[in-house]
Amino acid sequence: MALDAVVEDILATSKSKVASVSAEADQEVARILDEARKRAAGIKSRKEKEVGQAIEALERRVISSAHLEVKRSELNVNKEMLEQSKAKLFGAIQKLPKDQNEALIKKMLEPYDLKDMKVFSNKKDEAFVSSLAPNYGGNLDIIGGVVVESKDGALRYDLTFETLAREVFNNHMKEASKIIFG
């Protein structure tokens, strides 16, 4: 029987050691799991922060892009309106009453010695301009005004209504835009 007592004692000791090792293993597993959970929570938190920052950056880019597109569209509309204004100006110039048209042409030609110059105009103003300029140069495809040129062609003064209107329009684009668009 003493052998049975020794076997039972060994079994009891073994069971106690197994229970102790098992308890230590359970504690180690719990510690490792807890540490892994903490690391996972930290990684998750960092990734959430990175994703949040990426979303904010994307939102800023999308909003900025949308603002640029709106601005581009607005500028295109403004440009179109300015072009329409310019077209209306050219239309109004073409419809000038004859007396105003002739007065403008006469005023344009005053500074020039027409004996030494050739003067060109459109077909509509040919009779009037040739009565002022002894050296009428011929017709040009213009809406109005004149081109004055030295006989040798070295000097040329473009006094056409379209050129003058374009220069005025371009030189006063800021004021025109302010008037049109506020």
pLDDT in tens, 85-123: 788 888 888 888 999 999 999 999 999 888 889 999 999
Same-domain pairing of 111 and 73: no
Same-domain pairing of 102 and 128: yes
Is residue 1 scored above 60 in pLDDT? Answer: no
CATH number at residue 142: 3.30.2320.30
Give Cβ neighbours of residue 158 (< 8 Å, ≥ 6 apart): 147
CB 144 within 8 A of CB 155: no
For residue 144 the two structure tokens come to 């109005």
Total domain count for the chain?
Answer: 2
Same-domain pairing of 170 and 146: yes
Same-domain pairing of 125 and 165: yes
Beta bridge mates, 136: 119
At 17, the pLDDT band (50, 70, 90 cuts) reads confident
Beta bridge mates, 159: 146
Q: For residue 139, give its domain range.
A: 96-181
Same-domain pairing of 119 and 89: no
> What is the pTM for the complete model shown?
0.57
Same-domain pairing of 66 and 138: no
